[in-house]
């Protein structure tokens, strides 16, 4: 096992399990064949709109049912209470997750100088390794971009939950391809 693998394994242990793979290993032979100077990734607006529309539909149905002229049965009143509570919970969580939670709403910019996460810049000369970490919670899998720094004791993890693309293998594969495209080769 190489020192790099040991460092990634230490990160995995510190992050309480899951799996971690360097972006180079994660991409494998699937390389980009393009010529661009930088790539910017933003959280998916489609996901935000989907959650917002779903919450608004539930709220609209509840409001229409509340103000209909016929009297409501006890079960319909219970259903309305549940609909209002559900739309309130969805709205609060959507606002938190998609707007106010800075740990999930950030822009990733990759170019020849390094990786920028919002205003934080990681120059390629400061980066020891980049990796994709998967954590499992029940039936869900959460993926993180891991940027390990040269001092081999500092690393940053960025939650990729709000990033979506059309790649059937997921956003993390696309991100890893661009990282490997821009990452300078080490001799």
The pLDDT assigned to 186 comes to: 62
Give the pairing type, strands 114-117 and 19-22.
unpaired
| Same domain? 96 vs 7 | no
| Same domain? 128 vs 151 | yes
Read off the tokens for 68: 């209909």
The pLDDT assigned to 125 comes to: 93
Task: Return the sign of the alpha-carbon dihedral for residues 70, 76, 81, 82.
Answer: negative
| Same domain? 114 vs 169 | yes
**What is residue 55's three-state secondary structure?**
helix
| Same domain? 11 vs 84 | no
Distance CA 136, CA 142 (A): 6
| Same domain? 129 vs 164 | yes
Distance CA 110, CA 137 (A): 29
Distance CA 149, CA 122 (A): 9
pTM of the model: 0.74
Flag whether 39 is in a domain: yes
Average pLDDT along the chain? 83
Flag whether 187 is in a domain: no
The pLDDT assigned to 116 comes to: 95
The pLDDT assigned to 124 comes to: 95
């Amino acid at each position: 096992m190489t020192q790099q693998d040991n460092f990634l394994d230490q990160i995995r242990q510190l992050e309480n399990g899951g799996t971690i793979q360097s972006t180079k290993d994660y991409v494998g032979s699937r390389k980009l064949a393009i010529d661009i100077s930088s790539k910017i990734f933003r959280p998916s607006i489609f996901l935000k709109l989907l959650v917002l529309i779903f919450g608004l539909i539930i709220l609209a149905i509840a409001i229409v049912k509340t103000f209909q002229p016929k009297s409501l049965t006890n079960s319909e009143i219970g259903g309305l209470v549940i609909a209002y509570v559900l739309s309130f919970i969805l709205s609060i969580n959507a606002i938190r997750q998609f707007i106010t939670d800075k740990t999930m709403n950030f822009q990733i910019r990759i170019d020849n100088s390094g990786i920028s996460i919002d205003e934080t810049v990681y120059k390629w000369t400061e980066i020891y390794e980049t990796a994709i970490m998967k954590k499992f919670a029940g039936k869900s899998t959460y993926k993180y971009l891991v940027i390990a720094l040269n001092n081999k004791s500092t690393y940053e993890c960025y939650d990729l939950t709000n990033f979506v693309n059309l790649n059937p293998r997921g956003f993390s594969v696309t991100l890893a391809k661009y990282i490997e495209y821009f990452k300078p080769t080490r001799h």
